């Protein structure tokens, strides 16, 4: 699938590329990342390939990520209008100001205005709540977001890094009150982070939210550059976020990925990305790149076709422990289907079910 074979995001008509360009690496204010000119080359390379979906946030590199995008696109209105710019709010950039960040009405509207200024645009295509702050009634946040949509400053809405029950509450409230609904859910999802399959992914599929995974390479842990022979000696730019995962279980997974990559004539990162992009509910996976070469390698994941045997092996090697009641629900067919097949799923007769009429009260 080429980058310009677009897909609709969630229960909406918004058309986006199957890989979204994450721009958290635009700027070096955090001690790593790309210089502005290099970031613009990466952005142009993505756009030249037909990509149209950019992901940033007000807090990325202290606001510089948004500013780099704005500076590069503001001079060409046609280019800006064909790009889907997604940014986020919640991060407080004003030390000492309790309303400088968060999800209350004052903060949401102020952060939107700041992002519009940095992005040098008069509208944001997709506005994400970066994370639920826990101190604001969700109806206040949703009503503020609906106001921004009504004013034309925001086109679509999404939630990131928020518990499934809170997302479901917000979406149900918006639908019942006629407010602008959520169309997307941004979550960490990778072969090393699959616990989202317990609640978040099923919730998104049920409520019409397109899933846009971040961290599909787990900060580089799945890049293929870390080897078992060097276990305990690894250093990573993102520290423990990467090194804490470099255990024997991860190396088992990496060695399987190397085997699959060799069989398919591709790379380990592409295998990781292809697996995520093929998961149920996933619409567009967020990729990051510090160089045009990294971008090229990541985009190549769209050409990788994992065989069912590859997917099964990767699934088995990375099987997560999911929270209750996931295991309980997996047993439903045995005691609810009565040995029949429903929606293609067969069932075994429950061992405790009545065998005949004489056993049934």
Predicted pLDDT at 137:
97
Is-contact 268 224, C-beta < 8 A?
A: yes
Based on the residue annotation, tell me whether 226 is a catalytic residue of this protein.
no
CA 51/CA 39 separation, integer angstroms: 15
Predicted pLDDT at 351:
86
pLDDT exceeds 70 at position 298? yes
Mean of the per-residue pLDDT values of the chain? 94
Cis status of the peptide bond prior to 325, with omega within 30 of 0? yes
pLDDT exceeds 80 at position 308? yes
Predicted pLDDT at 319:
95
Confidence category of residue 242, pLDDT binned at 50, 70, 90: confident
Is-contact 161 130, C-beta < 8 A?
A: yes
CB-neighbour burial class of residue 189 (10 A; exposed 0-12, middle 13-18, buried 19+)? buried
Q: How much of the chain exceeds pLDDT 90, in percent?
A: 80
Closest listed residue to residue 129, CA positions, set 163, 93, 83, 95: 163
Among 6, 46, 60, 156, the active-site one is 60
pLDDT exceeds 70 at position 218? yes
pLDDT exceeds 70 at position 246? yes
Greater model confidence, 223 or 55: 55
Is-contact 57 91, C-beta < 8 A?
A: yes
Predicted pLDDT at 236:
63
pLDDT exceeds 80 at position 316? yes
Residue located via tokens 């060409």: 76
Taking each helix axis from N to C end, the angle separating 292-299 and 36-48, rounded to the nearest 10 degrees, works out to: 30
Torsion of CA 295, 299, 304, 306, to 10 degrees: 90
Confidence category of residue 360, pLDDT binned at 50, 70, 90: confident
Predicted pLDDT at 63:
98
Q: Which two tokens stand for residue 188?
A: 């960490």
pTM: 0.93
Q: What integer is the mean pLDDT of 334-340?
A: 89
Predicted pLDDT at 261:
97
Beta bridge partners of 54: 21, 85
Q: What integer is the mean pLDDT of 72-95?
A: 95
Cα 203 to its chain centre, rounded Å, is 14
pLDDT exceeds 70 at position 314? yes
Q: Where are the beta strands (DSSP E) in the chain?
A: 7-8, 15-16, 19-22, 53-55, 84-89, 124-129, 154-160, 182-188, 210-214, 285-287
Q: Is 158 helix (H, G, I), strand (E, B) or coil?
A: strand
Residue located via tokens 């470099």: 246
Q: What integer is the mean pLDDT of 83-112?
A: 98
Confidence category of residue 231, pLDDT binned at 50, 70, 90: confident
Predicted pLDDT at 238:
59
């Amino acid at each position: 699938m080429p980058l310009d074979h677009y897909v609709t995001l969630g229960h909406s008509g918004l058309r986006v590329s199957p890989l979204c360009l994450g721009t958290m690496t635009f700027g070096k204010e955090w001690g790593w990342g790309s210089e502005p000119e290099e970031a613009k080359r990466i952005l142009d390379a993505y756009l030249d390939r037909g990509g149209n979906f950019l992901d940033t946030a007000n807090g990325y590199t202290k606001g510089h990520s948004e500013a780099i995008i704005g500076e590069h696109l503001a001079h060409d209105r046609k280019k800006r209008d064909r790009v889907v710019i997604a940014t986020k709010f919640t991060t407080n950039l004003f030390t000492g100001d309790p309303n400088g960040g968060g999800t209350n009405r004052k903060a949401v509207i102020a952060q939107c205005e700041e992002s519009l200024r940095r992005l040098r645009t008069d509208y944001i295509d997709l506005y994400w709540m970066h994370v639920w702050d826990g101190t604001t009634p969700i109806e206040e946040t949703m009503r503020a977001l609906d106001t921004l949509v009504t004013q034309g400053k925001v086109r679509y809405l999404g939630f990131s890094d928020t518990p499934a029950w809170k997302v479901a509450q917000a979406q149900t409230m918006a639908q019942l009150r006629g407010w602008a609904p959520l169309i997307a859910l941004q979550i960490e999802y990778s072969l090393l982070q699959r616990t989202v399959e317990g609640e978040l992914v099923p919730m998104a599929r049920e409520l019409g939210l397109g899933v846009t995974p971040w961290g599909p390479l787990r900060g580089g842990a799945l890049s293929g550059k870390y080897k078992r022979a060097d276990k305990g000696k690894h250093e990573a730019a993102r520290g423990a976020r990467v090194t804490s995962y470099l255990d024997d279980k991860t190396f088992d997974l990496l060695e399987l990925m190397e085997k699959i990559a060799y069989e398919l004539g591709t790379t380990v990162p592409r295998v990781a990305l292809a697996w995520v992009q093929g998961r149920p509910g996933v619409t567009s996976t967020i990729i990051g790149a510090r160089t045009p070469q990294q971008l090229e390698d990541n985009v190549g994941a769209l050409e990788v076709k994992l065989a069912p045997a590859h997917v099964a092996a990767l699934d088995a090697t990375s099987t997560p422990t999911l929270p209750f009641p996931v295991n309980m629900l997996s047993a439903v067919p045995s005691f609810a289907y009565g040995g029949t097949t429903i929606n293609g799923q067969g069932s075994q007769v429950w061992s405790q079910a009545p065998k005949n009429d004489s056993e049934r009260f």
